[in-house]
Chain A
Amino acid sequence: QLQLRESGPGLVKPAETLSLTCTVSGGSIITKNYYWGWIRQAPGKGLEWIGSIYHSGVTYGNPSLKSRVSMSIDTSKNQFSLRLNSLTAADTAVYYCVGDSSPIIAVPPSFDPWGQGTLVTVSS
């Protein structure tokens, strides 16, 4: 059973860059038709999709954040990563890494599984 776990700093200063890593266990990150994504949730707010990456390195992301976001994948470590630059207090949120795939072939994709989430606070 696939499990995901986020790691990274809990506190980052404004204007700096956030780096988060997600480690995938229980399966290979090189799985056909399986993307890997990032979703965030500001305190008391709803869910916002940040972007997703395929094991080939192909990415697609939310235009609202795209200019500040980069994603990468390390197949040798079964990990994928998120970098978000020019941070402001509005980036304070719980960040989740997720699987982004179709549960069965030829049906629409959804987000599953989810990591436990990591709270990132942007503050000086």
Chain B
Amino acid sequence: DIQMTQSPSSLSASVGDRVTLTCRASQSVSNYLSWYQQIPGKAPRLLIYAASRLQSGVPSRFSGSGSGTDFTLTISSLQLEDFATYYCQQSYASPRTFGPGTKVEVK
């Protein structure tokens, strides 16, 4: 199985901050990488697919980059509704696997 790791596991930030989350795969997944946002008590929501493509309806302050084994999700100006847990996920090989998540908390 392809192992996904994320760093940091949690971070504290303020509204308006620029935040960068990192995801790493144990082997190359090309651009078969998605990012999801999960607010407590809610289902995850797709933010980014194909490593850098913004899902329809997702604010443009979210962006993704990377290919191969190293990926980043950037929130350019953190908003109150962005405090959540973020998961990366690879669809390059079966089984599909998720990272353990990065929790973004209010400073």
Contacts and interface: CB of A to CB of B under 8 A. Distances in A.
A11 to B, nearest CB: 20
State the majority secondary structure of interface residues on B.
loop
Contacts of B62: none
B45 interface: yes
A103 B91 contact: no
A61 B53 CA distance: 26
B98 A47 contact: yes
A105 B49 CA distance: 12
Interface of B: 30-34, 36, 42-46, 49-50, 53, 55-56, 87, 89, 91-92, 94-101
Most B CB within 10 A of own CB, among A61, A111, A115: A111
B60 to A, nearest CB: 16
A117 B36 CA distance: 15
A56 interface: no
Contact of A114 (B45, B100, B101): B45
Interface residues of A, number: 23
Given A64-B95, A103-B49, A114-B44, A108 B55 contact: no
17 contacts: A46-B100, A47-B36, A60-B94, A96-B43, A103-B55, A108-B30, A108-B34, A108-B50, A109-B91, A110-B49, A110-B50, A111-B44, A111-B46, A112-B49, A113-B46, A114-B44, A117-B43
